[in-house]
Amino acid sequence: MAVISRTLFLTLLLALVAFLSASSSSTSSLFAHAQPQNDNEALLQKKVARLEAKAVKNKGVIQLDSLAFEDVMAKPRNYSMVVLFTAISPEFNCVPCLNFDPEYKMVAAGWSKLANKSQLFFSILDFKAGQAIFQKFGMNSAPSVLYFPASSSISGDPSQDRYDFGKSGFQAEPFAAWLQARSGVRVPVQRPFDFMGLAVKVLGTFTAVFSVILFVRKGRKIFGSKYFWSTISMIIIFVMISGHMWNQIRNPPYSMPSQQGRSGFIASGFQNQFGLETQIIAVLYSLLTGAAIGLIAVVPRIENPVGQRATVWVCMGMFTLVFSILIQVFKLKNPGYPFTLMFR
């Protein structure tokens, strides 16, 4: 009886020990509620230190990929993040991405030089490296800049704080102002000393001085020359009537990869155009004007009847051909246009 009771007691004891030992892992976690806090803090500190190192190495900007993004954004986080979603690679032909890149880096560099900075990191996620993240955020245009405050989680994307390029533009200054509204710290935007600009200015001054000297010395010859001014005027006119100012203001891509039988250098749509397109139009216009001038000014100077006839036919042929091409190009833009010249 006693044996039984002893064994019972022993088994009970054993069971208790077993239970205790089994639950020890859970208890220890229960227990060490303070301990992992320290652990997390250490982890965080490590992460921040790592990020800082990365940032310092790269002038304040951290290059991310999908994995690194998830890692950096993972929940225990006491720092804010600014992420630039971009597509720098040439095959995407993203002109605004390229334009904004140096401006962004400039603000980041300005930030990293600040003494009293709060915890904020600048990072760049290129489409090539972080396709998954782009999908996750449903980004179908680049560049975009998102701001993640320290507390936010990445899954809460609906109300993500986004920088509005459409309104504020691609300059560093409005971007810094936007950031200031969020972080409360004024980021000084120091444009790096512009050697190119200086060179251009110096060169410009030299050219100006030189042309003044030239004007004084040989002014009559060059600046009094009709050809000089007529060339300049004609160039300006051709550039303007082929829609260059539109490009200047709207910044369209130079051309697009061609697809489905649609050439890549004529934009579809009446109020849209590519950079290359305007150049093509300028060439067509100048060929037409050239043919007209040839008929007016060159032909009557030719003494030889055969040569004169040939010139007339060539000029007129070119005129008609190029005009037809021009109309054809116009029809691409405006499919309802009913008139044609040579081609149906």
Residues numbered 227 to 286 that lie near other proteins (CB under 8 A) are 229-230, 233-234, 236-238, 240-246, 248-250, 270-273, 277-278, 281, 285-286
Interface positions, 160-179, toward other proteins (CB under 8 A): 160, 162, 164, 167-169
The only residue of 157, 197, 198, 210 in contact with other proteins, by rule CB under 8 A: 157
**Nearest approach, Cβ of residue 163 and other proteins (Å):** 9
Contact 288, 247 (CB under 8 A): no
Q: Does 203 bind other proteins (CB under 8 A)?
A: no
- The C-alpha angle with vertex 123 and arms to 118 and 127, in degrees rounded to 5, equals 160
Interface positions, 309-328, toward other proteins (CB under 8 A): 309, 312-313, 316, 319-320, 323, 326
Output the CA–CA distances (angstroms, integers) from residue 263 to 94, 97, 109, 305, 333, in the order listed. 19, 24, 42, 43, 12
Question: Distance between CA atoms of 289 and 315, rounded to whole angstroms?
Answer: 10
Q: Does 214 bind other proteins (CB under 8 A)?
A: no
Q: Does 342 bind other proteins (CB under 8 A)?
A: no
Contact 62, 55 (CB under 8 A): yes
CB of 48 or CB of 325, closer to other proteins:
325
Contact 139, 79 (CB under 8 A): no
**Nearest approach, Cβ of residue 184 and other proteins (Å):** 17
Contact 68, 54 (CB under 8 A): no
Question: Distance between CA atoms of 240 and 246, rounded to whole angstroms?
Answer: 9
Q: Does 92 bind other proteins (CB under 8 A)?
A: no
Q: Does 335 bind other proteins (CB under 8 A)?
A: no
**Nearest approach, Cβ of residue 226 and other proteins (Å):** 5
What is the total count of residues that contact other proteins (CB under 8 A)? Answer: 71
Q: Does 303 bind other proteins (CB under 8 A)?
A: yes
Q: Does 158 bind other proteins (CB under 8 A)?
A: yes
Token output for 54: 């990365």
Closest CA to 256 of 100, 144, 92, 99: 92
Q: Does 296 bind other proteins (CB under 8 A)?
A: yes
